[in-house]
């Protein structure tokens, strides 16, 4: 199959099958993050009383039910309205970056999809409930967090690794040109 058969074309627009697959990956990662976040929060809200704990791995990992009106990891409590605005801006920025940068990388799309899904998951709770349910507690980490926070962090870690990797690849290519 030649390249012209592999693209949707018109006078002002060209869209490859590869780009479609990457856009689909981005969207599916975001939807997966949102659904996973909302289902886990639903289960915690309905099966773990507020401010109590369930031991998963004693001395290491617990599930709890904490209400959070602040940012990720319980930072800046009682600032729900500010974080609704910040979350809306973040969602728009992520979508804008995705569209404007036309990222042709599996890992970029995966990472941005996770960040978008996490942002939307917590935005949904802040906007409709007025607070976020945090429930994952590792004893070595002071804060309690949720699935959305996890997807945001994992997405940003992937993006950071990609950026560092690309930096060193470019540096290596510059050295080899000399």
Q: What is the pLDDT of residues 28-83, one digit of tens each?
A: 999 999 999 999 999 999 999 999 999 999 999 999 999 998 876 667 778 889 99
Q: How many beta carbons lie within 10 A of that of residue 117, not counting itself? A: 28
Which residues, 6 or more positions from 44, have their beta carbon under 8 angstroms from its beta carbon?
63, 65, 133, 135
Other beta carbons within 10 Å of 175: 8
Q: What is the mean pLDDT of residues 91-96?
A: 95
Pairing label, strands 132-138, 7-9: unpaired
- Structure token digits, residue 6: 């592999």
Dig out the tokens for 100 from the structure. Answer: 């404007």
Please give the model's pTM, rounded to 2 decimal places: 0.85
The arithmetic mean of pLDDT across residues 95-123, rounded, is 93
Assess whether pLDDT exceeds 80 at residue 90. yes
Q: What is the mean pLDDT of residues 113-120?
A: 97
Task: Label residue 166 by pLDDT band (50, 70, 90).
Answer: confident
Beta-carbon contacts of 64 under 8 Å, excluding residues fewer than 6 positions away, are: 48, 51, 52, 53, 54, 134, 135, 137, 144
Catalytic site positions = 134, 149
| Distance, CA of 7 to CA of 29 (rounded, Å) | 24
Task: Report the greatest alpha carbon distance in the chain.
Answer: 64
* 123 three-state secondary structure: helix
Q: Which residues pair with 9 in a beta bridge?
A: 14
What distance lies between CA 55 and its chain's CA centroid?
Answer: 27
pLDDT at 42: 98
Residue 126: what pLDDT?
Answer: 94
In DSSP notation, 124-141 reads HHHHHTSSEEEEEEETTS
Angle between helices 106-128 and 17-47 (to 10 degrees): 40
Distances (CA, A) of 42 to 33, 74, 160: 14, 19, 31
pLDDT for 136-160, tens place per residue?
999 998 889 999 999 999 999 999 9
- Using the structure block, give the residue that is written with the tokens 């979508």: 95
pLDDT at 72: 67
- pLDDT value, residue 12: 54
């Amino acid at each position: 199959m030649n390249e012209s058969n592999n693209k949707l074309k018109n006078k002002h627009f060209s869209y490859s099958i590869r780009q479609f697959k990457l856009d689909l990956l981005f969207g599916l990662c975001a939807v997966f993050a949102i659904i996973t976040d909302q289902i886990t929060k639903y289960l915690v809200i309905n099966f773990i009383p507020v401010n109590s704990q369930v031991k998963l791995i004693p001395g290491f990992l617990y599930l709890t039910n904490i209400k959070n009106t602040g940012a990720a990891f319980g930072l800046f409590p009682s600032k729900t309205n500010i974080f609704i605005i910040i979350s809306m801006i973040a969602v728009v920025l992520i979508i804008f970056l995705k569209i404007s940068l036309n990222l042709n990388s599996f890992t970029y799309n995966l990472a941005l999809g996770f960040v978008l899904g996490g942002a939307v998951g917590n935005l949904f709770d802040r906007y409709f409930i007025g607070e976020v349910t945090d429930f994952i507690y590792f004893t070595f980490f002071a804060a309690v967090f949720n699935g959305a926070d996890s997807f945001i962090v994992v997405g940003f870690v992937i993006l950071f690794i990609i950026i560092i990797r690309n930096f060193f690849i470019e540096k290596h290519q510059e050295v080899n040109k000399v």
